[in-house]
Amino acid sequence: MTKIIILVTIITIGLLPCNASAQQHKWDYVLHEAKRGDITLATKYYKVNVWSVKTSTAVPRSHANWTVSNFSAPLDPSLKKIDFGKNEDRYLMFTQEWNDQKYPGGLKGLTGSPELRARTLRMVLNLYEDNGTFVKTVSRYGTILGYSDQGFVYLPEGKKPLFFTGEFFTAGDSLTYWVSKTNKMTDAWLYGSIMELERNFFSKDIARILENVKADVKKEEERAAQYAKPVPVYSGAKAELLQKIRNNSTFLAQKFTAKMAWNSGRHPSGMWPKKGKSWNLINIARCLDIGTGRPVDWGPHGDRYLQFDVDFYPKMAPGSLKDDMFGSNESFTLALRLYEKDGTYVRTVSKSGAFMGFAQGFFYYNQENTYGTLFTNQTIPVQKFADWDLNVPNVAPVISYSPWAPWGRQLTYTPNNGMIRLFLSDILNRTL
């Protein structure tokens, strides 16, 4: 009997490292998916995107107006100005870490079992150099309030509120916006569906699953790097043809700033515009970049711009434009590229897409048939509500403002065409 007990003890001790390793893989997997978790976590916030503010109430009500005011330089928890560097090109990013220190405001992760409820996460705010080098942790924990398409408030370690936004304001500004989500974020942001995460957490193949999701991230990074490659350079007849097209196109000469490019959906979902009929765009928010899967990085001062450029494209490929203007046997695409204020190339945002919905002051571009981008020289109305009564702003006659809470900011305008034909002539001389 003694020998049996000793043998069982030895086997149990031998299995402990294996069980500990499997348990660690589980928690590593959850943390990995929490760090991936949401586009908010993948966004760089420069000084122009962050403001210390005063809020109309300590915590907003769900489905109601909330005001942030007295915009001023962003402060850290010690109430000192955040150091964005000599050139103001440092940036802030959020991440999630385990809250084993039991800081206030712990975020619930996977809650399907007592084992999963045992640990919570915290929302951490870090500062980085422009090349991605870590500088310091600005806030070890904090609470997110008043989340909307226009921005959200973060309380760094419970101190002075910071408003994070993809839009551009000036010192002293105020903003009243509709809080469409819960008034206080209590759940962690996790990548993918919660059901799948919980299923994976308890899988005996958790180590393999963790390696697979790490591989997925690597593929995403490699794809993003492809979009950052230099613009292709051609010689001889090909170079001359591209330059001739550029020289004869008012469309390609246009520059679009951050106030002129917006992500938006179509309503009803997938509805194509029709000539002379009103067309509805919903959930209008900061412009996205299909190359990174994140918001467009407008740079430390928010002064980068987007511009379309012509490039060769395989014949018969979806969206390829036939040359009906210059007598070549080539086909083309118009790629959307990002530039510094001085014209220096930054990256390609979208390699191809469909153009549609042109009207005076508007057109719509579908990045790789995925991200819908509205280009406009008109002001996007701010969404305001008061006890469900609409406060309709004074906007240009070409658009109507008919907001409804679940669809965020929206507008309706009447295009003079549907989708463009697949010919160069149908696009090159268009303007806003």
CA-nearest of 187, 188, 190 to 200 is 190
Calpha distance 295→306 (Å, rounded):
13
How far separated are the first and last CA of the chain, in Å rounded? 89
Nearest to 110 by CA among 180, 37, 182: 37
- Sequence-ordered list of residues with C-beta below 8 angstroms from that of 206, at least 6 positions apart, any chain: 22, 25, 26, 29, 200
pLDDT tens-digit series, residues 386-400: 444 444 444 444 444
Half-sphere exposure of 239 (CA within 13 A, CB side): 6
Averaged pLDDT score across all residues of the chain: 88
Tell me, what's the pLDDT at 53?
Answer: 98
Distance of alpha carbon 90 from alpha carbon 79, whole angstroms: 19
pLDDT < 50: residue spans in the chain: 3, 5-16, 386-403
Instruction: For residue range 410-427, list pLDDT tens digits in order.
Output: 888 999 988 888 899 999
pLDDT at 15: 42
So what's the pLDDT on residue 114?
Answer: 84
CA distance 198 to 187: 15
